[in-house]
Amino acid sequence: MAGTYNNVLELINNTPLVRLNRVTEGMKGSFFAKLECYNPGHSTKDRIALHIIENAEKQGLLKPGATIVETTSGNTGFSIAMVSIVKGYKCIVAVSDKTKPEKISFLKAMGAKVYLCPANVPANDPRSYYEVAKRLAANTPNSLYINQYFNKENTKSHYLSTGPEIWEQTQGKITHLIGCTGTGGTLTGAAQFLKEKNPDIKVIGVDAVGSVLKKYFETGEVDPNEIKPYQIEGLGKNLIPGALDFSVIDQYVKVSDEPSAYATRELALKEGMMVGYTSGASLTAARTIADTFDNNSLAVLIFPDHGSRYMTKVFSDEWMASQGFVNSKLNGLESHATVEKI
DSSP state of 239: S
Q: What is the pLDDT of residue 66?
A: 96
Q: What is the pLDDT of residue 281?
A: 98
Q: Which of 94, 82, 75, 10 is nearest to 305 (CA)?
A: 75
pLDDT digits (tens, 9 = 90+) for 19-78: 999 999 999 999 999 999 999 999 999 999 999 999 999 999 998 899 999 988 778 999
**Is residue 260 very low, low, confident or very high in pLDDT (cuts 50, 70, 90)?**
very high
Rounded to two decimals, the pTM is 0.92
Q: What is the pLDDT of residue 339?
A: 59
Mean pLDDT within 214-238: 93
pLDDT digits (tens, 9 = 90+) for 133-157: 999 999 999 999 999 999 999 999 9
Please name the helix (run of DSSP H) or strand (run of DSSP E) that holds residue 301, with its range, or none: strand 298-303
Mean pLDDT within 287-316: 96
The larger pLDDT score, comparing residue 52 to residue 124, is at 52
- Average pLDDT taken over every residue of the chain: 93
Beta-carbon contacts of residue 237 (< 8 Å; ≥ 6 apart): 149, 181, 182, 211, 212, 213
Q: Is 98 labeled as catalytic in the residue annotation?
A: no
Beta-carbon contacts of residue 135 (< 8 Å; ≥ 6 apart): 126
Q: What percent of the chain has pLDDT over 70?
A: 95
Q: Is the pLDDT of residue 1 over 80?
A: no
Q: Is the pLDDT of residue 333 over 70?
A: no
Beta-carbon contacts of residue 168 (< 8 Å; ≥ 6 apart): none
Q: What is the pLDDT of residue 192?
A: 98
Out of 28, 34, 45, 195, the active site residue is: 45
Beta-carbon contacts of residue 116 (< 8 Å; ≥ 6 apart): 95, 96, 97, 99, 104
Q: What is the pLDDT of residue 97?
A: 85
Alpha-carbon distance 332 to 315, whole Å? Answer: 15
Q: What is the pLDDT of residue 328?
A: 44
Neighbours of 210 (CB within 10 A): 19
Mean pLDDT within 157-169: 98
**Is residue 340 very low, low, confident or very high in pLDDT (cuts 50, 70, 90)?**
low
Q: What is the pLDDT of residue 276?
A: 96
Beta-carbon contacts of residue 106 (< 8 Å; ≥ 6 apart): 74, 78, 309
Alpha-carbon distance 317 to 339, whole Å? Answer: 14
Which residues is 117 bridged to in the sheet?
A: 96
Cα-only R_g, the chain: 19
Burial tier of 313 (Cβ tally within 10 Å: 0-12, 13-18, 19+): buried
The larger pLDDT score, comparing residue 341 to residue 207, is at 207
> Sheet containing 202-208: which strands, arranged edge to edge?
17-19, 30-35, 298-303, 176-180, 202-208, 251-255
Alpha-carbon distance 317 to 156, whole Å? Answer: 39
Q: What is the pLDDT of residue 327?
A: 59
Q: What is the pLDDT of residue 330?
A: 54
Domains of the chain, first to last: 8-38+158-320 (3.40.50.1100), 45-145 (3.40.50.1100)
pLDDT digits (tens, 9 = 90+) for 205-224: 999 999 999 999 999 999 99
Alpha-carbon distance 283 to 267, whole Å? Answer: 9
Antiparallel, parallel or unpaired: β 30-35 and 17-19: antiparallel
Q: Is the pLDDT of residue 301 over 90?
A: yes
Q: What is the pLDDT of residue 20?
A: 98
